Each structure stands twice: as C-alpha cells, then as structure tokens.
Structure 1
Amino acid sequence: MLRIAVPNKGSLSEPAVQLLKEAGYSQRRDGRALVHVDERNDVEFFYLRPRDVAVYVGQGIVDVGITGRDLLIDSGAPAIEHLELGFGGSTFRYAAPAGVAASVQDIHGKRVATSYPRLVTEHLAQFGVEADVVRLDGAVESSVRLGVADVVADVVSTGTTLRAAGLDIFGDPILKSEAVLIRDERSDAEKIAVLTGRLRGVLTARRFVLVDYDVPGDRLEEAIAVSPGFEAPTVTPLHGSDWQAVRVMVPRADINDIMDRLYAVGARAILATELLAVRV
C-alpha cells in the first residue's frame, strides 16, 4: 500500500486534496481525521503538519508527500523533489528598514528573523555572509520594530505586509517556491509511477482545453497553423462536403485568441470543452 502524506492545514492543504480527488483518489470526510485508507487504489493517506511532511518522507515512514519546496529545503530531510504541482507559488525575500541593507552582503553581522532558519543560513553561506539567524514561528515582519532583528526573510506575494511594517524588499529572491510532490528514494517506483501519471494527467488537463471546429478544405493548413495542438490535430472529412472536422488540444490561457483567429481563417462551429484528466 502506497503511503502518502498530505498537508492537514495551511494554504497547501485544500489545493492538495482537490488535486488528489481529481486524480481519482478518495479523501477523508472528517477534517479532523489523521488517516484515510483508499482501498480501491491501495493507498493510505496521512494528514500531517506541512512542516512535518518532508521529515516523514525523508525517514521513509511514508513513501511520498505533498509540501512546499521551501519547507522541503528548510527541513534538511533527505527527501527528493519529484514533481512540481503548479499551486502554492511564493517568493522568499529579504526586507529591512530603508538604509539598513541593500544587498545580501549588507546582512553580514546583522540579525535576521525568519521562519525558515536552515534555508536562510544556507543561502547566506553561499555568499560567505555570517549573520545571527533568529527563528520565529510567525509575525516575522514585526521583529524589527520589536528589536528582535535588523533584517527579515519571509514569503512575499505583493509586499504590502512588509511595507506596512516599514520594511523595504532588497536583493534577488532567496527562493521561488511552490507545492511539490516529494518522495523517499527507497519507495516503490512502480506505485509512485501510477500516482505521478495521474497527477500529471490532471495538471495537463488544467492547462489545456479540447477544441473542435469545421473548416473548408482549402483553409485547413491555415487553421492548423493557428492551432497546431499538443502533438498534432485529428482531422476527419465531413460527409458529403469538402470541409474538414478538426479536434485539437490547445493551451487554456490562449483559448479565446485561438478561437478568434480560427474564425478569421474560415473555421466555424468552434467548440471548446473542459478536460478532466489526460494521459500524454
């Protein structure tokens, strides 16, 4: 039975559960349950603190898990990043009051408050910078005003929270993180392959839609140039006509532009259909 660790709370929890559901796995009905067995798929789910997922995977207690790249690195666990999952994106940055620091080198000898001490320590070491890294579990942006630190290292989305605390972001990003599937190198490769294929199928389906349209035969190549597809379109002659029916996968983000351009080259009956899962 494949053992999978899932975040039990936080910003990664709900998207992770939804991804697994779309991949065909049942999930717990009681939000307080710590374990759920999906007998049909021969899988056992463990709902753990996001910070603990990498530790359990790295020790081989569970086979795979979903966590953030930042949490994986900060844990120091020997788990392996296996697959990017396309949600939970974040950027990790340094920030300080104006005039305190403008580059990583300016952090030398200062106090840095963060919830990710290992990650920050390793990043500073890459630049030969020595600093006093102060671990905090929350409200990192308040640490400078309270006199605990000179600089903070924290997850940044818009930067509004840091600016409200009188801090300016500086330097290049420490890390760009997102949710990832991680694995223990000793895990059953065959069972993980099934899980990986399902997750990739859902992620691909989220990025593409299926488009069907009819086009005159003499405009077919123009239409295909507009919508070349994931690999190549399927083309079928329409009965009793010189028109062709085309089916193709196109990027979801481009769908309206592609439909406009197809119409402009003479395509008609243009339909876009949602995909639930694919295997490519």
Structure 2
Amino acid sequence: APQGSPIDNLEDVDGKRVATTYDKLVGDYLAGHGIKSGIIHLDGAVESSVQLGVADLIADVVSTGTTLRNAGLRVFGDPILHSQAVLIASPRVQQDDERLTVLSRRLEGVLTAQRYVLMDYDIPVGDVARAIAVTPGFESPTISPLHDKQWVAIRVMVPREKVNRLMDELYEVGARGIIVTALQASRI
C-alpha cells in the first residue's frame, strides 16, 4: 500500500483496486477472506500502478522490499503465499540416472553462485598467511605472482553475506585492490 495511506490490514482492502500479475491467486485469497476488490491484471512493473493511478494497492512477489520502497509503497498484512522450488523425479527415472545427476548438479551450481561471490585482492607476500586465515576458500585460494615479486594476487570464493566484513578484515591485514564479482554458476 502507499506510504501514509490508511490501508493497514486486510479488511482495509475491501472495495479497493488491487493490481497484480497473479489474478487468480490474489482473487481467490481475497474472496476466501470475504474481501470484495477489483483485481487489475498487469504484466510487470506492478509497483508503478499506484503512482500512475491505475490501482489503490498491489499484490506482488517481494523479497527485500527495496523496489516497493522506491515506488513509495510499504508492505502490510501477512504473506498470501510462501513457496519453494522442489525437484521431483518421475518414478520411472532411476536415482542413478545420469540426466538427473547432471540436472541436480547444475541446479546446485546456480544455488551456490547465489550464495557466494568471487573475491580478488592483492597482498604483500609476507601477509599471505594472515589473509588466507580470513578467506580460506573451499579447498584453497588461488595465489598468483604479480610483476612486483613482493606481492601476490589471491582469488577465492566467499559467502555473499560476509563480503563487507571480509573486505574490512582483509584491508586490515594488508590487502589492496579488493574486487568482488558476482557468479553465474559454479561446481563445487
């Protein structure tokens, strides 16, 4: 709902125009709670519908809420639906089927890439042990010599959620040129 609007609970939605991409899901949810609203189907950029005057509020997929806040909206009420992705194999597919193994490995690679980033940094040779204590990597970090023989470059995967803290710690032990790169996929 818009920031500062009187819409604070599900009952306040009654009689309002609700923009969503999920017409049936939202319509069924509201009807199941006795709420009569006008459902407006939109494909993409649902959050802009309130500012454009197309709707009074929206029902959309939200993970962090940043896009909503940027559009002058706020979350209220309980989630309509919690979901998760699940891999289900047909009973006709054997557990050791190579296709299932490959698919599982690929999915796990994408999930790992979402949890980790690649961190590169330069460090004086004498400080390598302290830096590796901060970023040990999975098996071991990649260490490459630089033109200046007193320095090396280190490349390592680190948890995305710890990036800022690790950068601070690395800087304190002498690392410079610290760069973080997002991953698309991986195999661990």
Q: Residues 13-32 of structure 1 correspond to what in structure 2 (within 5 A)? A: none
User: Which of the numbers 178, 201, 207 marks the counterpart of 2:84?
Assistant: 178
Matched, 1:187 2:93: yes
Matched, 1:254 2:162: yes
More strand by share: 1
Q: Percentage identity across aligned positions?
A: 50
Give the drift of 1:140. Answer: 7.5
Unaligned 5+ runs, structure 1:
1-8, 11-136, 144-156, 163-175
2:5 corresponding residue in structure 1: none
User: Which of the numbers 149, 153, 162 marks the counterpart of 1:241?
Assistant: 149
Give the drift of 1:237. Answer: 2.5
CA contact (8 A) 1:141 1:161 kept: no
Q: Residues 46-125 of structure 1 correspond to what in structure 2 (within 5 A)? A: none
2:172 corresponding residue in structure 1: 264
Matched, 1:138 2:29: yes
CA distance in 2, matches of 1:179, 1:217: 45
Distance 1:160 1:240, change over 3 A: closer
Deviation per CA, 1:172-203: give whole Å up to 9, x if none.
Answer: xxxx8522111123215211112111111111
Distance 1:197 1:263, change over 3 A: same
Task: Let me know the Cα RMSD of the aligned residues.
Answer: 3.3
2:104 corresponding residue in structure 1: 196
Matched, 1:228 2:136: yes
CA contact (8 A) 1:205 1:278 kept: yes
Distance 1:217 1:187, change over 3 A: same
TM-score, normalised to structure 1, is 0.39
Give the drift of 1:248. Answer: 0.2
1:53 corresponding residue in structure 2: none
CA contact (8 A) 1:219 1:266 kept: yes
Deviation per CA, 1:21-73: give whole Å up to 9, x if none.
Answer: xxxxxxxxxxxxxxxxxxxxxxxxxxxxxxxxxxxxxxxxxxxxxxxxxxxxx
CA contact (8 A) 1:217 1:244 kept: yes
Q: Which amino acid aligns with 1:160?
A: G
Query: Secondary structure at the residue paired with 1:182?
Result: coil
Q: Which amino acid aligns with 2:89?
A: R
Deviation per CA, 1:119-163: give whole Å up to 9, x if none.
Answer: xxxxxxxxxxxxxxxxxx6347627xxxxxxxxxxxxx988249x
Would you say how many aligned residue pairs link Structure 1 and Structure 2?
125
CA distance in 2, matches of 1:239, 1:161: 57
Q: Which amino acid aligns with 1:248?
A: V
Matched, 1:160 2:77: yes
